[in-house]
C-alpha cells in the first residue's frame, strides 16, 4: 500500500448509498483529491465515514447510525438509500480499509431499513464482515460463533466453557467472548483501532459559518466531536499559551497565503475567546499591536483559518477531510494553499480534498513534478453522474512529471477555460 503509513485509511467502498447504486471502490492515499461536477457524489463518498464518526462520538447510544448529527444530517432513513423510479435499494454497504502496523484491516457493514417500528432506530445492521489479513469473520446479529470461528479470531485463548456471540457495538458487530458467563473480551481486537481512527477524523465542511466577534471556549481533544471550526479559537488560544511552534507555523501559513501576518487569541471571559488578526498582509515596523477583530476583515481569512488550523493540529495518521478549501480565496492564495496541504501530507497527515479548483489541482501536479510529493502519495477520483443519476468514479494516479497516469481521465477544468477563451476571442 505505497505511500500509506500505519493508522491511515486505505480504501472506501460503498454500494446502495444515495447516488451509488452500484459498488464503487476508491483508494485513499496520503493525499486524495475528489473532483467533478456538482452533485456528482463527491461528498457522498466520504459521508459514511462521517456517519461513523458522529455515531461513535454521541454520548447516548443512537443505534447503528446517528442520522441527525453535526457532520451529516438526514431526517428520514430512506434519504440514505439509492432510489429511482421503479428501482429502490433496501440495503446499503460500506467497507473501510485501514493499515494497522504492517497489516491491512477491512470492515464491511451492510445496513438495512427496519421499516415502521416506533421506538426502534430506523436502521439496523444486517451483517458485518471483518477481514484481517487472510482471515475473515462474518457476523450477523446474535450469531453464536462455532469453536472454529472462536479459534480463528482469538487464537491461543484457552478458556473453559468459552462462548462467543455477535453483539452490536455502535456501528459494527463484534464478537463478545464469555467464559462461565464472564465477559473476557471483544474481538476482533483490531476493531478498537478502527473505531478510534474514525472518531479522530477532522471534518472541515464547505460552510464554515460567519466570522464572530467572539467564539465560545471549547475543550480541545484529538477527536473534535462535531464541526472543526467550533474549536479553532480555543486551539489558537492553547497554542499561544502552550505550543508556540504551532502558533508561529499558523502565522507563517497565513502570511504565505497573503491573508495576514498574525493571529492572536484574547480570552474575553471564562466562556469566550476573541480572535484578532493583523490589519495588513505583512507586518509593519512598529505595528505589533496593529490588530483588528477577525469579523472586520475579508471573508477569505475566516474561511481559511479552520483549514490551516486543521492541517497543523492533525497528527500523523489522522485524516483531515477538507470540503472546498479554496472558497473565497484569490487564485494566488489557492496555489499557496496547495503547498501547505503538501506540508501536512509530508508530515504524515492524511488529507482528503474535495475541490472545484483547477488551480489547486494544477498546484498538486506541480508538487509531484518538483518531487515535493511522490506519485505514491496522491490519487485523483473524478466523479460524474449518468442519465439515470448513477454516480460513476474514474480514478488515476500520477506520473513523475505530474501528468495523469490514466490519459483519458475526463477532467474538464481546462476544457471549460479553453472553450470560454475561444468564445471570448470569437466575440471580440
Q: 86: which 3 cell numbers?
A: 421503479
Beta-carbon contacts of 376 under 8 Å, excluding residues fewer than 6 positions away, are 2, 3, 29
| Within-domain flag for 287 | no
**pLDDT value at position 107?**
97
**pLDDT value at position 116?**
66
Q: 175 is in which domain, residue-wise?
A: 8-199
| Within-domain flag for 75 | yes
In the three-class reduction of DSSP (H, G, I as helix; E, B as strand; rest coil), residue 265 is classed as: strand
| Within-domain flag for 403 | no
* 1 band by pLDDT with thresholds 50, 70 and 90: very low
| Residue of 7, 6, 337, 70 lying closest to 224 (CA atoms) | 70
pLDDT tens track for 20-51: 999 999 999 999 999 998 999 999 999 999 99
Looking at the structure of the chain, the number of domains it has is: 1
| Pairwise pLDDT comparison (278 vs 421), residue with the higher score | 278
pLDDT tens track for 233-281: 999 999 999 999 999 999 999 999 999 999 999 999 999 999 999 988 7
pLDDT tens track for 272-324: 999 999 988 777 766 677 899 999 998 899 999 999 999 999 999 999 999 99
| Within-domain flag for 156 | yes
| Within-domain flag for 288 | no
pLDDT at 160 over 70: no
| Within-domain flag for 253 | no
Are the C-beta atoms of residues 274 and 265 closer than 8 Å to each other? yes
**pLDDT value at position 419?**
85
pLDDT tens track for 334-360: 999 999 999 999 999 999 999 999 999
pLDDT tens track for 189-214: 899 999 999 999 999 999 998 999 99
Number of H helices, E strands in the chain: 9, 21
| Within-domain flag for 60 | yes
Q: What is the mean pLDDT of the chain?
A: 92
| Within-domain flag for 219 | no
Amino acid at each position: 500500500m505505497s505511500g500509506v503509513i500505519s493508522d491511515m485509511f486505505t480504501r472506501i467502498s460503498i454500494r446502495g448509498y444515495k447516488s451509488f447504486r452500484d459498488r464503487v471502490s476508491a483508494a485513499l492515499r496520503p493525499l486524495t483529491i475528489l473532483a467533478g461536477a456538482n452533485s456528482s457524489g463527491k461528498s457522498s463518498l466520504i459521508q459514511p465515514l462521517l456517519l461513523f464518526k458522529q455515531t461513535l462520538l454521541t454520548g447516548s447510544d443512537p443505534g447503528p447510525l446517528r442520522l441527525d448529527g453535526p457532520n451529516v444530517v438526514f431526517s428520514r432513513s430512506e434519504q440514505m438509500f439509492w432510489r429511482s423510479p421503479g428501482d429502490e435499494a433496501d440495503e446499503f454497504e460500506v467497507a473501510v480499509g485501514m493499515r494497522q502496523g504492517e497489516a491491512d484491516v477491512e470492515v464491511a457493514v451492510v445496513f438495512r431499513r427496519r421499516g415502521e417500528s416506533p421506538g426502534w432506530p430506523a436502521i439496523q445492521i444486517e451483517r458485518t464482515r471483518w477481514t484481517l489479513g487472510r482471515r475473515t469473520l462474518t457476523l450477523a446479529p446474535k450469531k453464536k460463533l462455532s469453536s472454529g470461528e472462536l479459534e480463528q479470531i482469538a487464537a491461543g485463548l484457552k478458556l473453559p466453557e468459552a462462548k462467543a456471540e455477535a453483539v452490536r457495538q455502535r456501528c459494527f458487530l463484534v464478537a463478545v467472548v464469555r467464559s462461565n458467563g464472564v465477559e473476557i473480551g471483544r474481538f476482533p481486537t483490531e476493531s478498537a483501532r478502527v473505531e478510534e481512527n474514525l472518531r479522530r477524523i477532522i471534518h472541515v465542511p464547505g460552510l464554515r459559518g460567519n466570522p464572530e466577534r467572539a467564539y465560545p471556549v471549547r475543550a480541545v481533544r484529538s477527536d473534535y466531536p462535531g464541526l472543526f471550526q467550533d474549536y479553532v479559537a480555543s486551539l489558537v488560544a492553547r497554542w499561544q499559551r502552550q505550543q508556540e511552534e504551532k502558533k508561529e507555523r499558523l502565522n507563517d501559513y497565513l502570511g504565505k497565503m497573503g491573508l495576514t501576518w498574525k493571529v492572536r487569541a484574547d480570552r474575553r471571559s471564562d466562556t469566550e475567546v476573541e480572535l484578532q488578526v493583523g490589519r495588513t498582509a505583512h507586518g509593519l515596523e512598529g505595528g505589533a499591536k496593529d490588530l483588528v477583530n477577525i469579523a472586520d476583515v475579508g471573508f477569505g481569512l475566516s474561511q481559511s483559518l479552520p483549514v490551516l488550523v486543521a492541517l497543523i493540529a492533525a497528527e500523523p495518521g489522522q485524516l483531515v477531510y477538507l470540503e472546498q478549501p479554496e472558497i473565497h480565496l484569490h487564485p494566488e492564495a489557492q496555489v499557496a494553499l496547495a503547498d501547505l496541504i503538501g506540508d501536512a501530507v509530508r508530515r504524515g497527515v492524511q488529507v482528503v480534498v474535495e475541490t472545484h479548483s483547477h488551480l489547486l489541482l494544477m498546484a498538486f501536479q506541480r508538487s509531484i513534478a518538483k518531487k515535493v510529493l511522490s506519485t505514491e502519495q496522491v490519487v485523483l477520483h473524478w466523479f460524474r453522474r449518468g442519465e439515470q443519476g448513477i454516480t460513476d468514479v474514474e480514478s488515476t494516479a500520477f506520473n513523475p512529471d505530474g501528468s495523469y497516469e490514466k490519459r483519458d481521465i475526463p477532467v474538464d477544468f481546462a476544457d471549460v477555460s479553453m472553450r470560454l477563451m475561444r468564445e471570448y476571442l470569437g466575440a471580440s
